[in-house]
Amino acid sequence: MKDDRMNTDSSKEPEKCACEGQAKAGRRDFLLKIGLGLNAIAAAAIGIPIVGYALSSFVQKFPLKSVSLGPVSNFPEGTTRLASYRNPYSRKWDGDTAEIPCWVRHISNNDFQVFAINCTHLGCPVRWFDESKLFMCPCHGGAYYQDGTHAAGPPPRPLYTYEWWVENNELFLKGGILPTLADPKV
């Protein structure tokens, strides 16, 4: 009887060891999977913003939209006049702040120049002086010739210009995001 019992006990030992080994292997797999999962989350948290940043320069979030400045007859030939348009990305509560002023120079026939009002130095609104045929900036004395090129003072480049065209005797421009020094096309 005693021998039988001994035999029975010793036969259970290896089974117990095998179970413990399997349990350890199961825990190891589980922890490995958690580790891999956390690494994947960390990689996504770091990688997604980097990829988004890299792709953002190819995707235009606010594409420019066609905006009317009114009939061509509002801008007599040989004059430079102040005009304004409503920002196509404005919201109701923006009120008058959504009205964007710009300078329209009617050179001849269907030849125009449309300038952003902001000085290219620090953004103050420039004013047109018909007597001297100059755009003057009140902030630091910047001056521009009638074609928008730099005449004097600290501005680093000509006035920003809008893309414009005439359709059915109406003057249109591409409006939306205001131009900045980062945009070499304007």
Nearer to ligand FES, 124 or 166 (CB): 124
Name which of 56, 80, 95, 175 is nearest 133 in CA terms: 80
- Answer for the pair 170, 65: CB distance below 8 angstroms, yes or no: no
Our finding on whether 153 is near ligand FES (CB under 6 A) is: yes
Least CB distance from residue 125 to ligand FES, whole Å?
Answer: 9
Q: Which of 70, 154, 158, 179 binds ligand FES (CB under 6 A)?
A: 154
Number of residues that make up the chain: 186
Our finding on whether 125 is near ligand FES (CB under 6 A) is: no
Nearer to ligand FES, 153 or 158 (CB): 153
Token digits of residue 60: 């235009």
- Answer for the pair 3, 11: CB distance below 8 angstroms, yes or no: no
DSSP structure string for 97-115: GGEEEEEEEEEETTEEEEE
Q: Which of 27, 127, 133, 140 binds ligand FES (CB under 6 A)?
A: 140
Could you give the 3-state DSSP secondary structure of residue 26? helix
Contact set for ligand FES, span 20-79 (CB under 6 A): none
Q: Which of 100, 106, 155, 172 binds ligand FES (CB under 6 A)?
A: 155
- Answer for the pair 121, 135: CB distance below 8 angstroms, yes or no: no
Our finding on whether 127 is near ligand FES (CB under 6 A) is: no
Residues in touch with ligand FES (CB under 6 A): 119, 121-122, 124, 137, 139-140, 142, 153-155
